[in-house]
Amino acid sequence: MNVFEFLLALYSIIAGLGLSLLVRSIGQMIEARSRVRLYWVHSCLIVVAFVGQVVSWFSLWQFSGHSPWTVAETLTLLSTPLLLYLVAHLVVPELDDGLVHDMREYYYRHARWTLGLLLTIAVISLGGEAFILGHFELTQPRMIRLAFAAVLLPGVLSASPAVHSAVAVGLMGLVATGITLIRLPIG
What is d(CA 165, CA 41) in angstroms, rounded to the nearest whole number? 6
Instruction: Give pLDDT tens digits for 72-119.
Output: 999 999 999 999 999 999 998 888 777 899 999 999 999 999 999 999
Q: pTM, whole model, 2 decimals?
A: 0.91
pLDDT digits over 114-163, tens only?
999 999 999 999 999 889 988 888 888 889 999 999 999 999 999 999 99
Q: Which of 22, 27, 32, 26 is nearest to 100 (CA)?
A: 32
Q: Which amino acid is at 55?
A: V
* 3 close to 67: Cβ distance less than 8 angstroms: yes
Q: Are 77 and 132 in contact (CB under 8 A)?
A: yes
Per-residue 3-state assignment (H helix, E strand, C coil) for 59-114: HHHHHCCCCCCCHHHHHHHHHHHHHHHHHHHHHCCCCCCCCCEEHHHHHHHHHHHH
Question: What is the average pLDDT across 12-39?
Answer: 93
